């Protein structure tokens, strides 16, 4: 199985451990990625300014995968929503004409899927379970979906936007327990970070507090933006709310790689800001 | 107290013309959007229902100049719950787009615009990053993507952002 990998802005320079673990777990499952040379930002950062500009930037990225005749895999929830939005918009004649005017060609129809959705739909839980060599049964983790993994449902038509379950199943496939917890769909606050930092940190704190109450070993993220909130801003939340979390935030492919028994360097645990030392000790690994 | 003396009855038609704003008139004010909103859960100054009602009433200045318009996290919790099937987050986004056209672009977005124009991405890719990627066995990435400028010129968005 071969896909075009769309990296976006944050992952290739700020979350290499996500990219590294995603590539290595994909490889272990027999998935091949082709690079999208010339791909830019997905366009989402310009959506609030001018929706058309953001859609055109996204459409140009789609045209790159279309030339390769490969379906797109994304690692960021917002990139997934933005590219999917443009994919839908391409059916609108006036938008398509504008793309043509800009010289974008779409020789092949391609789909857009988040890496996690691809694992769920194209690989399947059974195959993933079969690849697990070191079941992580000692771990209790909080699965954080993030907003744009399954919403808006009119773009995706995937999973249940109110009671999502696909990511929990994938977490459970590693042998870990996906803790049942309240306010599962709570937004990380990432989108308001640039507008009101105190509000964004308060939003992130909500789930950090829940993870503490549930005594979770880690929060599992599938979006670099959510990780910015839960990991990079964890210290700020601790200061603001006068508490201690020390909660590791792992990207799902890191957890998956751990269960596959991949080498620690193949999943990049040394790049996690909150060191998962205690977590790794529990499963008999080292950081 | 709402004063309609300065209401602009055409405001709603302007929003309806914008991408995402098409279904504005369907709103009957039930407040499901506000009740589902994670931002409002923490900060009641942001209220999508109120923004939509003020828009329908034509209180343009009040809507466009409000810093709380930008509190929408675009999470689409409201979209999923709206009994009228309005993509509420897209509607709020249409109002944001109109606010930018009218000179209310938050500074943060101006910075993001400049980065996209210069780099085609939000983060500068330094030699250090490329070396780190190489060391990790990750493929090289483009430092800049100049083709993005063509799109920004095509939509003429720079003069709107800098208004």
Domain boundaries, chain A: 2-115, 125-282
Ranges of beta strands (E only) in chain A are 2-6, 32-35, 72-74, 112-114, 140-143, 177-178, 218-221, 249-251
A129-187 pLDDT tens trace: 999 999 999 999 999 999 999 999 999 999 999 999 999 999 999 999 999 999 999 99
Q: Mark residue A100 as left, alpha or beta (left: phi above 0; alpha: psi -120 to 50; beta: remaining).
A: alpha
Residue B84: inside a domain: yes
State the pLDDT confidence band at B4, using cuts at 50, 70 and 90. confident
Q: CB contact, 8 Å: A285 with chain B?
A: no
Shortest Cα–Cα distance, A45 to chain B (Å): 7
A219-232 pLDDT tens trace: 999 999 999 999 99
State the pLDDT confidence band at B8, using cuts at 50, 70 and 90. very high
Residue B42: inside a domain: yes
Q: CB contact, 8 Å: A204 with chain B?
A: no
Same domain, B15 and B70: yes
SS3 A82: helix
State the pLDDT confidence band at B63, using cuts at 50, 70 and 90. very high
Domain A2-115 has CATH 1.20.1050.140: yes
Q: Within 13 Å, how many C-alpha atoms sit on residue B40's CB side?
A: 18
Q: Final residue of a domain: which of B83, B101, B119?
A: B101
Residue B161: list chain A partners with CB under 8 A: 49
How far is the C-alpha of A25 from the C-alpha of A75, rounded, in Å?
13
How far is the C-alpha of A112 from the C-alpha of A156, rounded, in Å?
9
How far is the C-alpha of A129 from the C-alpha of A173, rounded, in Å?
5
Shortest Cα–Cα distance, A139 to chain B (Å): 28
Enter the DSSP assignment of A96: H
A79-127 pLDDT tens trace: 999 999 999 999 999 999 999 999 999 999 999 999 999 999 999 999 9
Shortest Cα–Cα distance, A42 to chain B (Å): 8
Name A168's Cβ contacts closer than 8 Å, sequence gap at least 6.
A143, A178
How would CATH label the architecture of A125-282? 3-Layer(aba) Sandwich (3.40)
- Domain span including residue B150: 107-161
B145 → closest Cβ in A40, A45, A47:
A40
Shortest Cα–Cα distance, B7 to chain A (Å): 24
Same domain, B152 and B79: no
Same domain, B31 and B90: yes
Residue B30: inside a domain: yes
ipTM reported for the complex, 2 dp: 0.97
Mean pLDDT of B13-30: 97
Residue found by looking up tokens 């994919």 in the block: A87
Same domain, B45 and B86: yes
| Closest alpha carbon within chain A to B116 | A41
Q: Final residue of a domain: which of B101, B128, B150?
A: B101
Residue A52: list chain B partners with CB under 8 A: 19, 155
CB pairs under 8 A between A and B: 165
Number of H helices, E strands in chain A: 15, 8
Which two three-digit tokens encode residue A135? Answer: 């079941």
The answer, yes or no, to whether residue A266 has pLDDT greater than 80, is yes
Give CA separation, A266 vs A27, A250, A287, B33, in Å. Answer: 11, 14, 12, 43
Enter the DSSP assignment of A120: I
Same domain, B94 and B112: no
Residue B33: inside a domain: yes
Put simply, the chain A residues between 218 and 277 with a CB less than 8 A from any chain B CB are 268
Predicted pLDDT at B5: 87
Contact criterion met (CB < 8 Å) for B42 and A162: no
B142 → closest Cβ in A10, A38, A47:
A38
A33-79 pLDDT tens trace: 999 999 999 999 999 999 999 999 999 999 999 999 999 999 999 99
Predicted pLDDT at B87: 98
Residue B82: inside a domain: yes
Predicted pLDDT at A207: 98
Same domain, B25 and B90: yes
Same domain, B69 and B95: yes
A38: phi then psi, degrees, rounded to nearest 5:
90, 0
Give CA separation, A34 vs A68, A80, A110, A223, in Å. Answer: 8, 17, 14, 21
């Amino acid at each position: 199985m071969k896909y075009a990998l769309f990296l976006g802005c944050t992952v290739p320079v700020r979350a290499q451990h996500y990219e590294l673990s995603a590539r290595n777990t994909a490889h272990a499952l027999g998935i091949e990625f082709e690079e999208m040379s010339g791909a830019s930002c997905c366009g989402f950062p310009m959506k609030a300014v001018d929706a058309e500009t953001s859609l055109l930037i996204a459409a140009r990225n789609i045209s790159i995968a279309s030339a390769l005749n490969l379906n797109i895999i994304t690692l960021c929830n917002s990139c997934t929503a933005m590219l999917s939005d443009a994919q839908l918009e391409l059916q609108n004649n006036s938008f398509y004409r504008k793309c043509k005017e800009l010289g974008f060609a779409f020789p092949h129809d391609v789909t857009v899927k988040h890496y996690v959705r691809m694992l769920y739909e194209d690989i399947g839980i059974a195959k993933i379970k079969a690849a697990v060599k070191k079941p992580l049964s000692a771990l209790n983790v909080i699965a954080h979906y993030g907003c744009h993994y399954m919403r808006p449902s009119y773009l995706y038509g995937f999973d249940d936007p109110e009671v999502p379950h696909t990511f929990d199943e994938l977490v459970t496939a590693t042998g870990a327990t996906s803790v049942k917890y309240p306010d599962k769909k709570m937004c990380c606050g990432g989108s308001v970070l640039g507008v009101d930092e105190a509000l964004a940190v308060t939003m992130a704190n909500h789930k950090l507090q829940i993870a503490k109450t549930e005594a979770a070993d880690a929060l599992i993220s599938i979006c670099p933006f959510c990780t910015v909130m839960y990991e990079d801003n964890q210290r700020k939340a601790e200061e603001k709310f006068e508490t201690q979390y020390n909660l590791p935030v792992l990207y799902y492919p890191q957890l998956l790689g751990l269960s596959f028994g991949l080498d620690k360097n193949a999943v990049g645990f040394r790049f996690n800001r909150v060191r998962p030392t205690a977590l790794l000790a529990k499963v008999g690994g080292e950081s | 107290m709402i004063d309609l003396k300065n209401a602009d009855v055409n405001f709603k038609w302007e929003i309806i013309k914008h991408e995402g704003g098409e279904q504005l008139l369907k709103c009957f004010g039930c407040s499901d959007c506000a009740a589902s909103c994670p931002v409002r859960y923490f900060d009641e100054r942001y209220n999508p229902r109120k923004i939509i009602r003020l828009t329908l009433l034509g209180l343009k200045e009040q809507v466009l100049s409000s810093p709380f318009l930008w509190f929408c996290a675009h999470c689409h919790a409201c979209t999923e719950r709206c009994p009228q099937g309005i993509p509420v987050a897209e509607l709020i986004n249409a109002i944001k787009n109109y606010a930018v056209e009218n000179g209310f672009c938050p500074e943060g977005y101006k910075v993001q615009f400049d980065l996209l124009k210069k780099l085609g991405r939000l983060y500068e890719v330094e030699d250090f990053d490329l070396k780190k990627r190489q060391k990790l066995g990750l493929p090289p990435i483009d430092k800049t993507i100049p083709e993005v400028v063509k799109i920004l010129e095509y939509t003429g968005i720079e003069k709107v952002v800098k208004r």
